[in-house]
Amino acid sequence: MKKVNVFFAAMLFVFLSAGVNAAEDTGFDYFKGKWDVLIKGTPNGDVNMVIVFDKIDDKVAGSIQDYEGNDVLEVTSARIEPEWASVNFFAEGYDLTITLRKKDKDNVTGDMMYMFDVEGKRIIEGKE
Instruction: Please state the pTM of the whole predicted model.
Output: 0.78
Residue 122 has pLDDT above 70, yes or no: yes
For residue 76, pLDDT beyond 50: yes
| Residue 118: how many other CB atoms lie within 10 Å | 21
Q: Residue type at 71? A: D
CA atoms within 13 A on the CB side of 126: 0
Question: Which distant-in-sequence residues (6+ apart) come within 8 Å of 2 by Cβ?
Answer: none
CATH number of the domain at 27-123, please?
2.40.128.120
- Of residues 92 and 50, more confidently modeled: 50
Asked whether 88 and 80 are in contact (CB, 8 A), the reply is no
For residue 4, pLDDT beyond 80: no
Report the distance separating Cα 22 and Cα 77, nearest Å: 29
**For residue 56, pLDDT beyond 50:** yes
